[in-house]
Amino acid sequence: MRSCILGAGLLSLVLPGCGTKGVPTGTVAGVMLRIGGPPPGSPVPLPGEVTLTDVASGARFQASASTNGKFAVTVPIGTYRVTGQSPLVHIGDEEMVGVATDNVRVKRNRTSQANVYFSIK
């Protein structure tokens, strides 16, 4: 299920299934991957939650990544920072935050790719 989070400062509002009716939208699709680690160091898909943050407004949209790491979410057009968290990757007791290498630009009626990487040693 998709939701969007609107907020400023200490107050945030989570709107489950937040609609984009009447707003031009595009889709962001990708895979969450753990990279690095012991040899051979092949990429490993990860389940978890992906967050897209609009760099202009700060609005956040969330989607779930399945067990094969794949996710897709429809959002208003704009430029987004893409991050993710997986219960399978930790730093101590905290879940590690993975990031896409670049911001993703979402265009009307188009699908943009953005993979989320968790780099481990």
Residues facing residue 105 across a β-bridge: 79
**Residues 6 or more apart in contact with residue 42 via CB below 8 angstroms:** none
The pLDDT tens digits for 37-94 are: 777 778 999 999 999 999 999 999 999 999 999 999 999 999 999 999 999 988 888 8
Q: Write down all domains in the chain, each with its CATH number in brackets.
A: 3-120 (2.60.40.1120)
Lowest mean pLDDT among 25-34, 37-46, 106-115: 37-46
For residue 92, the number of C-alpha atoms closer than 13 Å in the C-beta half-sphere is: 1
Q: What is the pLDDT of residue 56?
A: 97
Residue whose token pair is 């009307």: 108
Higher confidence at residue 33 or residue 2?
A: 33
Q: Is the pLDDT of residue 116 over 50?
A: yes
| Model pTM score | 0.79
Q: Pull the structure tokens for residue 103.
A: 């911001």
Contact predicate 5/62, CB 8 Å: yes
